[in-house]
Amino acid sequence: MPGLKVLLSRKTIAQRVAEMGEEITRDFRGQSIIFVGVLKGAAVFLSDLARQVPLDSTFDFIGVSSYGNRPTAKEDPAGHAAWDSLGEVRLTKDLDQSLADRNVILVEDILDTGLTLNYISKLLQAHQPRSLRIAALLDKPSRRKQPIQAQYIGFTIPDAYVVGYGLDYAERYRNLPDICVLENL
Ligand code: IMP
C-alpha cells in the first residue's frame, strides 16, 4: 500500500507562493501579463499564484502528455520505484489565444527532466511574446536531462515522487492541500 508523507505543508506552500507573487508583481509593475498553465498539474498553483499578483492579467492553458514520465512497476536495485521519461511530449490542448507581444508567465507544477518545459517553451517562443518567464513550484534538479532556466522557483526538492496540490499519481491525489511524498509505490 502506498503511504503519504508530508513534504511541504499547505502553510509553507502558501507563504512561498505569496513571495513568488510579490516577485512577479515587482518585475512586471505597470504591465499586463498572461499566465499560461500546463494542464492539469499546474491548475492549483496557477490559481493561487495569480491571486497574489494584483496586475492586469489573463489566463490560458496548454495541455501536454509526456509518455512514460510516471512511476512504473519496475524497481531499481535499491528497491525504489522507477519512473522515466521517454522524451516524447505531445500537445493535447493548444492555447486559445495568440501570445504575440505579450508578457507570458509559463506556470508549471514541477520541473523534472526538463523535457516538458523545453518543448512548451519552444512552442510559446514561436508566438514571439514580448517576454517569456517560467514559474515552477517545484524543482528536482538531480533528474534534469535538458537544461532549462526557470526565473521563479518555489522549492528545490530531492528525487522523490510527490503528489498533492495539483500533482497526481494515476490522476489521484491532486486535491491534497499539502505536497506529500508517495512512498512504497
Ligand atoms: P519533465 O518533462 O520531466 O520535466 O516532467 C514534468 C512533468 O512530469 C510534470 O509536469 C509532472 O506532470 C510530471 N512529474 C514529474 N515528477 C513528478 C512527481 O514527483 N510527481 C508528479 N508528477 C511528476
Pocket, ligand 1, Cβ cutoff 6 A: 41, 66, 69, 85, 108-117, 161-163, 167
pLDDT at 87: 63
Query: 12-18: long-range contacts at Cβ-Cβ below 8 A with a sequence spacing of 24 or more?
Result: 13/48, 13/137, 13/154, 13/165, 13/178, 13/179, 14/48, 16/154, 16/155, 17/45, 17/48, 17/49, 17/52, 17/137, 17/154, 18/52
Q: Which residues of the chain have pLDDT under 70?
A: 67-87
pLDDT at 66: 75
Using the atom order of ligand 1, give the atom closest to the CA of residue 140. Answer: 16
Mutation test residue for ligand 1: of 109, 145, 157, 176, the one with most atoms within 8 Å of CB: 109
Using the atom order of ligand 1, give the atom closest to the CA of residue 115. Answer: 2
pLDDT at 82: 45
Query: What share of residues in the chain are helix, strand, coil (percent, to 5)?
Result: 20, 40, 40
- C-alpha cell of residue 184: 512504497
Q: Calculate how far, in angstroms, residue 69's C-alpha sits from the geometric centre of ligand 1.
A: 7
pLDDT at 80: 44
- C-alpha cell of residue 145: 536531462
pTM of the predicted protein model: 0.90
pLDDT at 81: 45
- C-alpha cell of residue 115: 523535457
- Rounded distance, CA 155 to CA 185, Å? 23
CB-CB contact of 140 with 157 (8 Å): yes
The neighbour count for residue 98, using CB atoms within 10 Å, is 11
Question: Where is 46: in which H helix or E strand?
Answer: helix 43-50
Mutation test residue for ligand 1: of 110, 111, 180, 181, the one with most atoms within 8 Å of CB: 110
Q: Is 112 a catalytic residue?
A: yes
Using the atom order of ligand 1, give the atom closest to the CA of residue 69. Answer: 8
- C-alpha cell of residue 97: 489565444
- Rounded distance, CA 29 to CA 31, Å? 6
Where do the domains of the chain lie, and which CATH numbers do they carry? 11-160 (3.40.50.2020)
List, for residues 102-129, the tens digit of each pLDDT value.
999 999 999 999 999 999 999 999 999 9
